[in-house]
Structure 1
Amino acid sequence: MSESTSQPASASYVVAFGQHPDPTHTIAHLSDPHLLAGGVRQYGVVDPEAGLVRALERLEHLRPAPQALVFTGDLADKAEPEAYARLRALVEPVAQRLGAAVVWTMGNHDEREPYAAGLFDVTGPAAAEPQDRVHDVAGLRVVALDTSVPGYHHGELTSDQLAWLADVLAEPAAHGTVLALHHPPIPLPLMPAGAIIELLDQEALAAVVAGTDVRLVLGGHYHWTSWSTFAGVPVSVASASCYTSDPAPLDRLVSGVDGHQAFTMVHLYEDRAVHTVVPLAAAPEVTGHPGDVHAQLAALTPEERRELISRKDSWLNAEGEDHAARG
């Protein structure tokens, strides 16, 4: 199933301060909001809606703005229709303000029929099928793969899905392809029990991906940030906006905690991708400069900027050290 969601390129920086050009594409990678209907809290503690709202607020601070908001699954904790409706009500106005496409991906907590009806207005037999979709974001192809298994928490892709994906990838996209799926094909050295609910038969997917124009694989599921490679392609796993998994728990098989929530920004260039974790929690600023300094720096020559910012005894650096000493 294909959807054309081409968006204009994101606003460029006024002046490039370094040797690299602006990114060609900017993606906000969010995962595992686990929304619940009626404001119910997870485990009686975590407010999943508050986490998602905080993530969306942080998104609107970013420049350049993302061209796509890619959600890698577990959108609704219990697949409630009201939760999907609330998800759209929260996300779509923000996406519209940003001029961003929204890419939804199925997770193990989602259920196909309410997911398809609530997010795509699809009902009937098509709603019971795997919810795989293709999005065009200004020439970048984003393929949302449904790795869910009805009645289970592990993931898999059927032979029909793999054949469909091979057909999609047979023709390269203008700026390559990003795969979005809930169950990421990565090892789990810090949470080996998580492998019980991993994506099965990963080699079958690798055989389809290898040698194609796939540039990135984006996943979620494990509620922490991680990176790896798969079939020669970088894999980025985003943390959750609800609760997260503690990678260093004390005497616990697994440990879900109310902290460390984040999403990941992905900046694509012609020859590389840059991933940046954006924490959701507020933190006190201990040093910094106001935003209008950007315009002042842009008015300088590259040599003047280097002398001001890089030179250790420049007035700006001396002023910063003096401020720190005064507290």
Structure 2
Amino acid sequence: MKVGFIGLGLMGLPMAQNLRKAGHELFLHSRSGVPADLQGEGMTACGSPAEVASKAEAVITMVPDTPDVEKVLFGENGVASGLSSGKLVIDMSSISPVATKDFAKRIGELGCGYVDAPVSGGDIGAKAATLTIMVGASETDFERARPLFEAMGKTITLVGDVGSGQTCKVANQIIVALNIEAVSEALVFASKAGADPVRVRQALMGGFANSRVLEVHAERMINRTFKPGFRTRLHMKDLEVALSNARALGVSLPGTALAQQMFNSCVAAGELDEDDSIMCKAIERLSGHEITKKS
């Protein structure tokens, strides 16, 4: 398939590379420029989102936030201005479910399909093509997009109509944030009590407390390696989407609000662009103790 890909950041770059490995022809655009190693046979750099849309059958967007998606789609030289009837727009960013429905309506008026398909799995999943992909779309558009998803992900689920993918991703981010907070508390507690957090983590991974956060993020907390797999600023953005939509729905999310406040304290400490496992430092500062290995 001729595929447009807009947004070649930490997640987008390996996702695009996996599409190329699967044999798709790529038309690429990124505000920071298209890397030289993504230009060559079967890969073409484009000067604008409109140019991408004019050349591709399906256009994928993978950018940070709701305003970024709106600008890419409907701004000057945006995707919408390059579309022709019958094409497919697939947004794999993590953004507002409400805005997603509006974007889909506007793209639909141009005679094109729209799919929202946010992902989970971080940069590790993006590189390994094992992402979890949560899809909101019609059955027809989902089937059109499926071959692309299969090149990037392992668990692909049609959750419901447009907007449902983003709603599922918000739920995912709530669970992950609260899990990070819980694992942070547990490791600070264990370390301060004199236990080796390395062995505590190993023991917990064999029981009901196991999770991907315990497997991946706890290791980062223990080894003090906070190079971003998923930046704190992006997780905070997702939690703000959760809290703002919760207010509109009249839903109480007390744990989510607490996790957001923990992230806020990391921002105050200048840790906005670290991995979201950095939340452990907020717990450490409150406790006056840093997670410390025995050896």
The verdict on a shared fold, with TM-score over 0.5 as the criterion, is no
TM-score (norm 1): 0.25
Between structures 1 and 2, the one with greater strand share? 1
TM-score (norm 2): 0.27
Structure of greater Rg: 1
Between structures 1 and 2, the one with greater helix share? 2
